[in-house]
Amino acid sequence: MNGSFGYHDGRELRAGAPRPPARALRAGGHAGMAQRAAHEASLAPDGPPVADRDERQAALVARSLLAAVDPSPGLARRLRAAVREATRARLRAVAFATPLGWYAVAYTDAAVVRVLGPRASAEACYAELRATYGELTVQEITRDDVGGRTACKLAEYHAGRRVQFDEPLDLDRVTPFTRDVLLATARIPYGQVRPYAWVARESGHPRAVRAVGQALHVNPWAPMIPCHRVVASGGGLGGYAKGPEMKRWYLRLEGYPA
């Protein structure tokens, strides 16, 4: 389930920008050329699809700059590989409506970074994600990729259909303890509940029951990782970051009498 996370720093070349002289490009070294080539692979046959018109224009500019530098074939291959990896790590987001409100999936081509919601609108989701992560590409049309498949499954789940969430998650973004807790929570079956003590034991931290609750409170992938299925040992509902009523809603959605 692990994936690596990263996103570009926004310093892409834009169409219409002044063309720097070839000598200045060479002075930047390999790292500078790799940055300036940041979109070139998006036009390559084996690269990911271009998300929008700005990226397409930037890719054309980057290609012309590479032509000006005229690197060796070996260097050109290495640059294209580096650019494809940078493109793979670019942060994207796709929003979808549910009975509770709007949700959004933030993701790279490698893994899901976060599930956000519910909010009042898709725009509110995107604004909050930008405030947290910086620049991102909004997918107006759902793609057949990690984020698109996750969004479709989450929409189906909120409509009452049982789905299996098996898309990769960017677990490197949480601490090892939180990762242990979330992976244990992910094993709780649909429509069932487990106490916090069970999660602590299954995660390999049997004495950390209170810390388990704190880790679940910051779960970035709810309800994919179903922290709503974790309840108090005495039969009480327990806590939930989105509030007790939403926890009941999710449990009832799955047929559990909350």
What residues are annotated to the active site?
A: 227
Number of residues that this document lists for the chain: 258
First to last CA, the chain: 30
Placement of tokens 């070839």 in the chain: 22
Query: 112-119 and 101-107: which strand pairing?
Result: antiparallel
Determine the Cα–Cα distance for residues 155 and 159; give it in Å rounded to an integer.
6
Determine the longest span between alpha carbons in the chain, in angstroms: 72
Determine the Cα–Cα distance for residues 231 and 93; give it in Å rounded to an integer.
31
Determine the Cα–Cα distance for residues 110 and 248; give it in Å rounded to an integer.
32
Determine the Cα–Cα distance for residues 15 and 58; give it in Å rounded to an integer.
6
